[in-house]
Chain A
């Protein structure tokens, strides 16, 4: 055998070796319709279990079906395809299942808010306040709360985003050695601590520091201060990440052209990172737009329109939702859901607008 060249192999032996090679390369394989078939079987089994055993309800049945699907498919695959494919299919099932589990609450929240919010939502609802509307009555609206939220979040963004972005620029671009590096470490540490401070504590701080000690009145501006404090660490962190991923090469290219550092940061580093910075800032805005606790302590709930954020109580959308929900009547509950829908929509519009701005100003593709 060993002294014969391939050309001398008889036809029969050639066919034999071809078959061996084919077997070595190919393996058993489940048909393409296998996942669908297993899915149907798993659902059917789960339905039967639902009827005859303790398995109960739609959610329970689905969970059991998913478990059955994973087990059945892996066993079948193990028998036909071998261990590696069985593990692959099991892992794929797990990844998809966890993805759907993570998505479920998100979709559920959105759907619930949309469905229940549409009950009370109308043009009138957007353009009237709650002045003189009793909890039992239908009607009234959210206009005063929209004004309040836009003003408070707007002021917070005007103060918080520049402070946060400039802090991040200091941390990444300037604090590189010696004393400034130690200072940067301290700043970084406190930014981390601030991220973890509960929002109600921030509200209490503004209440004691600004309202009790400095004698500021409860107002939209006091609320905006609390929101600013909540916003800064988020903006600092996200901007810092974005600045750090701007390649060193670009900064060096700019320095090598004789461009000063501040101009390099302004014209090369920031534009390159802009899209990410805007996304981070918008996430911070979205986060504080839904804050309720600090507003309770800094601006009284109001039922009427107050355009002046510096004087007198001012409503806000989260406060409106909380207030209407607390009233407990059917009409006010509908209003609470509609208020929540308006809040989500506003945050969404702001986010999309910012994304659009980022697309036209950032890195060209």
Chain B
């Protein structure tokens, strides 16, 4: 089940360095929200706090509230491992597990989270996940071949299949197409369109056309200045943000005057 996300006054730190300041926004279930902005403005950092992935970097922490259907994922009794099972993530570079076959990669999340599942159940899940990632037809005859033997675009779809195999409520994507060619990018964008029927999607992208193509809402992040924390400048429906932005900085950025 797709869930909504509400972020309230979020500050993010790396050690004593404040990377992001005062971010608040909401993401509706079954929608695509794009984060855009210049490099280093904290959009990836904000994305990673949405499933507590930034915590794997030593010294990183966040201050504020991130609510998943009203439940604070930074609550004192919340286990980050469970948060990440509910909120999946796809990374910039395709990163299939090199020791595992295509099949094992897809079921990695199910197997590694423990518990026994029958072979038939796993088979079903592999097929549905690979179909969900538009990869089934290309790999159904070589499920036991290593995942690292696929092309870059196929590897990225394999990573998406791996992420949706654990049936998350939300899917976070950190520049999922930046290492891919235009054809593979097209395939991933089509896939995002299909996935939003079942999942809430948040995507970070450097490509403004991509944000315009795939997202319902767009958030623009910017730095207040060199060495100052990043902040959310504005968030609006994609059509509005790209046609009549309310902030001067947004207009400068989307019209290519900086960044």
Contact = CB atoms under 8 A, between A and B. Distances in A.
B163 A257 contact: yes
A260 B163 contact: no
A256 B163 contact: yes
Nearest to B80: A255
Nearest to A267: B112
B99 A258 contact: no
A177 B58 contact: yes
B162 interface: yes
A272 B98 contact: yes
A252 B59 contact: no
Interface stretch (A43-51, A71-79, A243-251, A331-339): A243-251
Contacts of B108: 254, 257, 259, 267-268
Given A258-B85, A258-B113, A263-B113, 20 more contacts: A177-B59, A253-B91, A253-B97, A253-B162, A254-B108, A255-B56, A256-B51, A257-B109, A258-B81, A260-B81, A264-B112, A267-B112, A268-B97, A272-B97, A272-B98, A272-B99, A274-B99, A363-B148, A364-B100, A365-B148
Chain A contact surface mostly = helix
Interface in B132-169: 146, 148, 159, 162-163, 166
Interface residues of A, number: 27
Contacts of B46: none
A96 to B, nearest CB: 36
Contacts of B162: 253, 257
B112 A256 contact: no
Given A255-B56, A258-B82, A272-B98, A365 B146 contact: yes
Residue among B56, B83, B114, B146 with most chain A CB within 10 A = B56
Interface in A320-365: 361-365
B95 interface: yes
Nearest to B52: A255
A189 B173 CA distance: 41
A363 B58 contact: no
B206 interface: no
Given A252-B56, A259-B109, A364 B148 contact: yes
Contacts of B82: 258
